[in-house]
């Protein structure tokens, strides 16, 4: 078991291998379909507008050496205007495959959290960056929310609560490395084994 504090260094990322259990600490950000699409279209494919420059600069700061979490949280707003997470389960990550490699490279991400794994473009970006994919526990949304100690900020709330970019401080957020910076992916191995077993059953 490893404990890592965000921002994470290249050396720490390269020391991780598939199967490693990690507890994450520090500030991370949630981001799903709308957030990734927005970052690609407004910041990566073109220069930010003057109105969007402050958000661009804030995301560059938060995500530099940082971690993005594929999550659509359930949140509670308190009378003083602050927020807290009620549930924070992972979203299926493969939906972000079309965006993730570019987001990793542009923002200098070191980690992506989600469930179900990702595909070849993301794995290649993890090798080049370096970065890793952290698998969070599906079906444990309330348990994971206990790791969220503070909502630091929220951006693009007009996307809706699940799709907004929530900047959160976490303590001992439990994850497992399932794609590493050395080209290894547990998800690829599971798929290959499943395909082989399926073909074996068909041939029987």
As annotated, the active-site residues are 36
Query: Tokens 């991780």 — which residue?
Result: 16
Question: How far, in Å, CA of 118 to CA of 45, rounded?
Answer: 22
> Does residue 117 contact residue 135 with C-beta atoms inside 8 Å?
yes
Question: Cα separation of 203 and 36, whole Å?
Answer: 42
For residue 168, give the nearest of 81, 76, 83, 52 by alpha carbon: 83
Distance CA 31, CA 166 (A): 7
What angle do helix axes 97-107 and 53-63 make, rounded to 10 degrees? 90
Bridge partners, 154 (sequence order): 166
Cα(167)–Cα(58) distance, rounded to whole angstroms? Answer: 10
- Measuring CA to CA, which residue among 80, 77, 88, 79 is closest to residue 29? 88
């Amino acid at each position: 078991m490893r404990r890592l504090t965000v921002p994470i260094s290249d050396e720490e990322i390269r020391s991780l291998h598939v199967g490693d259990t990690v507890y994450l600490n520090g500030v991370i950000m949630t981001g799903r379909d709308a957030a990734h699409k927005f970052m690609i279209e407004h910041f990566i494919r073109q220069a930010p507008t003057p109105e969007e420059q402050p958000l661009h600069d804030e995301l560059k700061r938060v995500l530099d050496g940082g971690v993005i979490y594929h999550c659509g949280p359930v949140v509670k707003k308190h009378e003083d205007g602050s927020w807290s997470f009620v549930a924070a389960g992972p979203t299926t990550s493969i939906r972000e495959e079309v965006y993730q490699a570019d987001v990793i490279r542009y923002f200098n991400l070191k980690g992506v959290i989600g469930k179900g794994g990702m595909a070849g473009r993301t794995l290649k970006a993890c090798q080049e960056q370096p970065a890793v994919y952290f698998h969070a526990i599906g079906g444990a949304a309330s348990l994971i929310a206990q790791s969220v100690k503070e909502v630091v900020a929220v951006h693009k709330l007009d996307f809706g609560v699940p799709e907004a970019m929530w900047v959160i401080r976490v303590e001992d957020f439990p994850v497992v490395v399932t794609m590493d910076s050395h080209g290894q992916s547990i998800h690829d191995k599971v798929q290959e084994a499943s395909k082989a077993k399926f073909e074996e059953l068909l041939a029987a």
